[in-house]
């Protein structure tokens, strides 16, 4: 994992609460909690008041890392994109807590701001800053690779944002290992800011691609992993079992994991969760947080009640035997 770095920022929690440990994202100097709160549900399956309640509970528990994108969630009826950023921006403005929150957002997937050209990145960044009601983005992701734009142009554009103080650090999401490697090499060659992290699809039941293609590269370059779908579209919450009916927009995707291997993983998660007195979801995320290069798994919650199932991962550390058992059964 990243180097331990305790943040000096004051947190909105009770004096008796154990502070959440902080870990640095690559070489960025940005320290974050062990759980990154996904903002993909804000403005989609969670309205503004509910989103505020989730964000309040997360910050109060010691979390400080919120992930969103300009494209969240343009596909929802009546939306055009940027709804999640707007809710997060309104929340930070209402609470006056901008300095306590590490904000990550993304560029490149919103249909109106598609791709990683220099002009698009500059315009999209200003759009995101306006919606977030802030003067800087802490971690700015290329949401997905853009093979039609030279990587030199993309990295030059990110460099301009860093120099202007609009962005603190940059990262990549949904890149191939080959393209991530070439981007890092270009940054090194040209003296440009380099991606400090990768946001890939990685969790207890989706391991092969990350561990074989990306992990060696991240370790060699000192980059962090901030994985999305940390709970496998909800499957690793333990709610999707034989005969169970769950009302969720991602229910079909989660049920795809309910095979013999998935059932075996749930059985071990159940055993560890019962022994630790924590929810199954927290154990699944704690396994992910224990993997090399992983600095903070991303998980979202539509309600404060769902969030409560995730929060123990902020301070939960599995034993070596528990990690090995889950690694074995999920192989």
| Residues marked as catalytic | 72
Question: What is the rounded distance in angstroms from the CA atom of residue 23 to the CA atom of residue 67?
Answer: 16
Those residues with Cβ within 8 angstroms of residue 177's Cβ, 6 or more apart along the chain or in another chain: 213, 214, 217
- Residue 149: its H or E element: none
Q: What is the dihedral of CA 229, 314, 63, 86, to 10 degrees?
A: 10
Question: What is the rounded distance in angstroms from the CA atom of residue 109 to the CA atom of residue 114?
Answer: 5
Structure-block tokens of residue 330 = 């999920």
Structure-block tokens of residue 4 = 């331990």
Query: At which residue do the structure tokens 């090194």 appear?
Result: 188
Those residues with Cβ within 8 angstroms of residue 201's Cβ, 6 or more apart along the chain or in another chain: 174, 209, 210, 227, 228, 229
Structure-block tokens of residue 118 = 């220099």
Query: Sign of dihedral through CA atoms 153, 143, 162, 215?
Result: negative
Spell out the alpha helix ranges (H) of the chain: 48-60, 83-95, 118-132, 151-163, 177-190, 208-209, 215-221, 251-255, 260-276, 280-289, 304-308, 320-329
CB contact at 8 A, 106 and 143:
yes
């Amino acid at each position: 994992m990243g180097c331990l770095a305790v943040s000096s920022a004051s947190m909105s929690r009770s004096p008796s609460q154990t502070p959440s440990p902080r870990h640095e994202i690559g070489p960025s100097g940005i320290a974050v909690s062990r759980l990154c709160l996904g903002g993909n549900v804000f403005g989609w399956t969670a309205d503004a008041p509910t989103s505020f309640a989730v964000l309040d509970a997360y910050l109060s528990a010691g979390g400080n890392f919120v992930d969103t994108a300009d494209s969240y969630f343009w596909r929802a009826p009546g939306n055009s994109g940027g709804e999640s950023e707007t809710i997060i921006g309104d929340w930070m403005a209402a609470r006056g807590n901008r300095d306590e929150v590490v904000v990550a957002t993304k560029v490149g997937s919103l249909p109106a701001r598609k791709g990683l050209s220099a002009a698009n990145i500059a315009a999209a960044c200003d759009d995101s800053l306006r919606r977030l009601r802030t003067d800087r983005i802490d971690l700015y992701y290329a949401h997905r690779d853009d093979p039609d734009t030279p990587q030199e142009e993309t990295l030059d554009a990110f460099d301009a944002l860093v120099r202007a103080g609009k962005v603190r650090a940059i990262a990549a999401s949904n890149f191939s290992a080959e393209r991530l490697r070439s981007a890092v090499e270009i940054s090194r060659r040209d003296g440009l800011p380099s991606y400090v992290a990768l946001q890939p699809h990685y969790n207890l039941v989706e391991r092969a691609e990350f561990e074989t293609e990306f992990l060696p590269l991240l370790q060699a370059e000192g980059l962090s992993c901030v994985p999305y779908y940390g709970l496998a579209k909800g499957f690793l919450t333990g709610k999707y079992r034989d005969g169970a009916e769950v009302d969720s927009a991602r229910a079909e995707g989660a049920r795809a994991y309910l095979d013999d291997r998935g059932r075996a993983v749930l059985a071990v998660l159940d055993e560890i969760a019962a022994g630790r007195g924590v929810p199954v979801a927290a154990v699944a995320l704690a396994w992910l947080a224990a993997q090399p290069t992983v600095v903070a798994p991303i998980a979202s919650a539509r309600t404060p009640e769902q969030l409560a199932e995730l929060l123990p991962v902020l301070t939960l550390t599995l034993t070596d035997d528990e990690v090995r058992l889950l690694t074995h059964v999920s192989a």
